[in-house]
């Protein structure tokens, strides 16, 4: 039986107010070797800030997190599983960025959303973005009207399934001229890896 969604949500919310698991939790799902020379946690003036939303809601009696599969036409991370989000605008809070981008990508009504807190920023070498994850919860049913230029598919991932150790797999992938050891979450044929998996790993560590 899946844990009660309200219990999982309470544990996540409590964890966000305590010292975060941080880099060690993220690195559990980091591919090796990593690209570039910068550390994942480096936040430099030369990187671009982006806000991503870890949106939690209840579906079919289970606490669920919203993910998307990016199209093959977007500029960065084509075809990958991602959290909704995008580049921060001048004068905009990182939470406002995450919410705005999610509305634009997903066409969802987030009027009732409750922001719970932030996870640890994560630098992504290939795109030179530093992402700032905002965790939020929204009650009720969500309806999506996706932006087809950016979103190829909506993936609704139950938290308890991601937290099951059996969902974590590893494969050797060849890219960038090298073999990489890549951990990922397997969910109904989807491989959730890279920065998205690293953010989710910290979220799950709160449990």
The pair phi, psi for residue 94, each rounded to 5°, is: -65, -30
Residue 187, token pair as written in the block: 């969910």
Number of structural domains (the chain) is: 1
Q: In this structure, what CATH number is given to the domain that contains residue 197?
A: 3.90.79.10
Rounded average pLDDT per 10-residue block, the chain, 207 residues? 89 96 93 68 71 97 94 58 93 96 94 96 84 96 86 93 97 89 95 95 97
CA angle, 135 as apex, 141 and 150 as ends, to 5°? Answer: 70
Cβ(157)–Cβ(199) under 8 Å?
no
Confidence at residue 36, expressed as pLDDT on a 0 to 100 scale? 57
Q: What is the pLDDT of residue 42?
A: 57
CA torsion angle 130 134 54 206 (round to 10): 100
CA atoms within 13 A on the CB side of 142: 28
Q: For residue 124, what are its two tokens?
A: 């992504």
What per-residue confidence (pLDDT) applies to 161? 97
Per-residue pLDDT at 160: 96
Q: By the 8 A CB rule, do 198 and 40 touch?
A: yes
Range of the domain at 200: 5-205
């Amino acid at each position: 039986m899946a844990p009660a969604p309200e219990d999982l949500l309470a544990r996540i919310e409590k964890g966000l107010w305590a010292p975060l698991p941080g880099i060690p939790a993220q690195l559990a799902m980091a591919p090796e070797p990593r690209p570039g020379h910068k550390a994942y946690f480096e936040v430099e003036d030369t990187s671009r800030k982006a806000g991503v939303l870890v949106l939690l809601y209840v579906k079919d009696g289970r606490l669920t997190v919203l993910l998307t599969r990016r199209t093959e036409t977007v500029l960065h991370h084509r075809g990958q599983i991602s959290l909704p989000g995008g580049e921060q605008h001048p004068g905009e809070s990182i939470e406002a960025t995450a919410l705005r981008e999610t509305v634009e990508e997903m066409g969802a009504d987030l009027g009732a959303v409750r922001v719970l807190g932030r996870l640890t920023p994560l630098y992504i070498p290939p795109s030179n973005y530093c992402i700032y994850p905002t965790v939020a919860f929204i009650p009720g049913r969500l309806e999506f009207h996706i932006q087809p230029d950016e979103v190829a598919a909506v993936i609704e991932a139950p938290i308890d399934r991601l937290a099951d150790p059996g969902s974590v797999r590893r494969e050797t992938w060849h890219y960038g001229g090298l073999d990489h050891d890549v951990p990922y979450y397997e969910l109904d044929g989807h491989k959730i890896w890279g920065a998205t998996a690293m953010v989710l790993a910290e979220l799950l560590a709160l449990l």
